[in-house]
Amino acid sequence: MKNFASVGCTTPGDVRKRQQAGENIQIIDVRNQEEFDENHIPEALHLPLEVLENAISGLDVNKIFVTACGKGGGRSATGAEILQRLGFRATWLCGGTFGWLDEK
């Protein structure tokens, strides 16, 4: 999460470490409702990719956003790109929701 100028992923371990250090990080799950209901990262904000751009007025510009999908890299990378283009600090989660839940 060091360079927000270019989209790159960050690991679940790095996100957890930064959260524990007090960094203001919000995970956004960009999957559809059915996928989110099946399983998701605790405390993740659910904003499906198709509504993400229209929902930015409710996002805190002071937060760092980490987008997550199932496996990481598809929809989550697109979500991070959208947020960056709109002026937010954002990256996507390597391994996605499944990687996060497997790394407990």
H/E stretch holding 15: helix 12-20
What is the number of structural domains in the chain?
1
CATH code of 26's domain? 3.40.250.10
Q: Is 100 exposed, middle or buried (0-12, 13-18, 19+ CB in 10 A)?
A: buried
Per the structure, the complete domain to which residue 51 belongs is given by 9-102
pLDDT of res. 5: 44
Residues contacting residue 87 through CB under 8 Å, at least 6 positions apart: 61
- Length of the chain in terms of residues written: 104
3 within a domain of the structure (yes/no): no
Contact indicator for 69, 97 with CB cutoff of 8 Å? yes
Question: For 40-82, what is each residue's pLDDT tens digit?
Answer: 999 999 999 999 999 999 999 999 999 999 998 899 999 999 9
Dihedral sign for Cα 87, 42, 104, 23, please. Answer: positive
Whether the model clears a pTM of 0.75, i.e. scores above it, the answer is yes
74 within a domain of the structure (yes/no): yes
